[in-house]
Structure 1
Amino acid sequence: MTPDVRSSAVPVLEVRDVTVRFAGLTALDAVGFTVRPGTVHAVIGPNGAGKSTCFNVLSGVYRATSGSVRFGEHELTGLPPHKIAGLGIARIFQNLALPPRATVEDSLLLGRHRLTRTGFLAAGLRLPSAAREEARHRERVREIAAFVGLEKQLAQPAGALPYGQQKLAELARALCMEPQLLLLDEPVAGMTADERRRTAAVIAGVRDSLGISIVLVEHDMGVVMRLADSVTVLDFGRRIADGAPGDVQNDPAVVRAYLGEEAAE
C-alpha cells in the first residue's frame, strides 16, 4: 500500500489547556497532551472521565470553552468537522455507520469524497476525465481493502459482513481519506478475542507501515498496552497521568482511578 504517509511529514497534534463546560458542568478541565507524528496515543479513563468530550473537541463536534488544539500550523479550535477532515484528520465512531445495502467497495469509495476533483456535471455526463478519476479511486480502494484484509469482501453488502469485519470496513473507509491523523473511538469494542487481535494488528500496521498518527480511546487495557506509544489518563475531566504505557499503568493515581486491581496482578 503506497504512498507512505511519513514522506509527507505528519504534523504534531498539540492539545493545550482545553476546557469544556456545559451549563456550568466542567467536562474537561485544562487538559493537555501532545501526539508525536506516527505514534499511537491512547486516551483512557473510567466512564465519565471526559474521553468522548475530548474526541468531540478534536474532531470539531464540540467547541472548547478555552484552550487550543493545533495540528501542525493549523488551529483546529472552532473549525467545523468538515474543515478538520479536510486537513487530513479522520474519525471512527463507536457505532457502525456503513450504508448496509451498499457494497463494501462503494462504502469505502465514500471515503474518497474529499479527494475527488471531478465536478458534478462531468461525473453525470460520464466524461472521460471523470471515468479515469473514478478508476484511480477504485484502485486505491482495492489497495486499502487488501491492507486491512477485506479484498475478498469488496462485492458484498457492507451490512452482511460480520461485526468485526464491519468495524474493519469503517477503518478502511477512514484510511481511504488518506489521513495524517486517525481518531479511533473504541475500535475493538464488542469484538471477539480473534477480532480484537486482528483489528489491533491492522492498527499497528497503520502506524508502522503508513506512519499515520493515531489517537485511541479504548477500554480494552490489553489492546491499549500493546498498541500505545504513550497514554493520557483522564478522571473527572482532568488529566491525572501522561507518559509511557508501563509508567502510567503503575501510577498510583491511575490505579486508584481506573485500573484498580488489574494493575496489581
Structure 2
Amino acid sequence: MTATGDATPHRAAQADAPVLHVTDVTVRFAGLTALDAVSFTVEPGSVHAVIGPNGAGKSTCFNVLSGVYRAASGSIRFGGTELTGLAPHAVAALGIARTFQNLALPPHATVADSLMLGRHRLTRSGFLAAGLRLPSAAREGRQHRERVREIAAFVGLERDLAHPAGALPYGKQKLVELGRALCMEPKLLLLDEPVAGMTGDERRQTAAVIAGVRDSLGISIVLVEHDMGVVMRLADAVTVLDFGRRIGGGTPARVQSDPAVVRAYLGEEATP
C-alpha cells in the first residue's frame, strides 16, 4: 500500500542514499548576510525540516542547496560530491530534485506530459533516434510512460493523467509538481512549502504522500513548511533558522520545547 492506497512504484528503498552535509554555509547579497554559517546533516531516508519565521533564510537555504545561489563560504557535500559552486542542472544530475512554493506547471499540458518532463534527464535516446522512431527509442519511451503511470498512481493522480494539469484543483496541481520531481528518480527531494494554500483534506493527503516517499521509496527529504502540524508529524529532525542563523535543532519534540525557538516564533520565553 502507498500513502494514497494505490500500487507502490516498483523500487527498492535507497538504503545506500548519500548523506547530505551542510557545513558552515554563508550566503551574502550586496553586504547582507542571508545565511550565517548554517550547518545541518540530512540522514539517508529521513525527512529533515527547515523551519523559521518569515525572513529566516529558509528559501535562501533551498536555493543554495539546489545550485540557484552560490555560497560565499562553507561546504555542501552530497555523499562524496561537493555541491558548492555547481550549476542547478549539475545538482539535478546528481539526483537532487525540488518543488517550488509557487506552481510552475505548463498551463495546457496534460498531467502525463507534465510528469514526463521529469524523465528528461533520464532519457538516453537522442532526438535523431526518436525522430526516426528507432526500436530502441520506442522501447525507452514505453518504459518512461509506464514509470509515469506508476508514479501517478503513487501520488493519487492515475485518473487524471489525460487532464490538463492547469485545470486541476490547487491541491492536485501541487501533487503534479511532486510527481514530476519523483519522476526524476531523485535520491534527495527538496520540498518548498508543499502544503501551503491547501484545504485540510488536501494537506492530509499530501502529507501522507510525503510520508510514503520516505517510507516506501527511501528518498531523503528536506522540507520547508510553515504548517507546524505537518512538520511535527512528518519530520525526523528539524533545523530552526532565524535571521539567517541556526538557533536550534533536533527531534520535533526537542525543538518544540526549546526556549530560543519559542522566542523566535512567539517573542517570549517558553513556559517552564
TM over 0.5: yes
Q: Residue 4 of structure 1 aligns with which residue?
A: 12
User: Is 1:208 matched with 2:200?
Assistant: no
User: Is 1:67 matched with 2:74?
Assistant: yes
Distance change (3 Å), C-alpha of 1:37 and 1:59: same
Pairs within 5 Å for 1:97-246 = 97-246=104-253
CA distance in 1, matches of 2:82, 2:168: 38
Distance change (3 Å), C-alpha of 1:259 and 1:178: farther
Question: Are the equivalent residues in 2 in contact too, given 1:104–1:157 (CA < 8 A)?
Answer: yes
Deviations 1:201-226 (A, max 9, x none): 00000000000000000000000000
Deviations 1:176-222 (A, max 9, x none): 00000000000000000000000000000000000000000000000
CA distance in 2, matches of 1:5, 1:115: 19
Instruction: State, as a whole percentage, how many aligned pairs show the same letter.
Output: 82
Q: Residue 20 of structure 1 aligns with which residue?
A: 27
Q: Residue 3 of structure 1: CA displacement?
A: 1.2
Q: Residue 98 of structure 1: CA displacement?
A: 1.0
Pairs within 5 Å for 1:43-54 = 43-54=50-61
Q: Residue 252 of structure 1 aligns with which residue?
A: 259
2:47 to 40, 55, 58: 40
Which amino acid in 2 is paired with 1:85? A
Q: Residue 29 of structure 1 aligns with which residue?
A: 36
CA distance in 1, matches of 2:59, 2:267: 21
Which amino acid in 2 is paired with 1:114? R
Question: Are the equivalent residues in 2 in contact too, given 1:61–1:80 (CA < 8 A)?
Answer: yes
Q: Residue 259 of structure 1: CA displacement?
A: 5.1
Q: Residue 5 of structure 1: CA displacement?
A: 3.7
Partner-residue secondary structure (3-state), 1:224: helix
**Which ranges of 4 or more aligned residues in structure 1 deviate by more than 3 Å?**
none
Q: Residue 83 of structure 1 aligns with which residue?
A: 90
Q: Residue 54 of structure 1: CA displacement?
A: 0.5
Question: Are the equivalent residues in 2 in contact too, given 1:5–1:180 (CA < 8 A)?
Answer: no
Which amino acid in 1 is paired with 2:12? D
More helix by share: 1
How many residue pairs match? The answer is: 262
Deviations 1:132-189 (A, max 9, x none): 1000000000000000000000000111110000000100000000000000000000
Partner-residue secondary structure (3-state), 1:209: helix
CA distance in 1, matches of 2:219, 2:120: 20
Which amino acid in 2 is paired with 1:221? M
Which amino acid in 1 is paired with 2:36? D
Q: Residue 124 of structure 1: CA displacement?
A: 1.2
CA distance in 2, matches of 1:132, 1:154: 20
Question: Are the equivalent residues in 2 in contact too, given 1:38–1:214 (CA < 8 A)?
Answer: yes
Structure 2 spans left out of the alignment, 5+ residues:
1-8
Question: Are the equivalent residues in 2 in contact too, given 1:233–1:240 (CA < 8 A)?
Answer: yes
TM-score, reference length from structure 1: 0.97
CA distance in 2, matches of 1:231, 1:260: 20
Q: Residue 3 of structure 2 aligns with which residue?
A: none
Partner-residue secondary structure (3-state), 2:14: helix
Query: What is the alpha-carbon root mean square deviation over aligned residues?
Result: 1.1
Partner-residue secondary structure (3-state), 2:34: strand
Structure 1 spans left out of the alignment, 5+ residues:
none
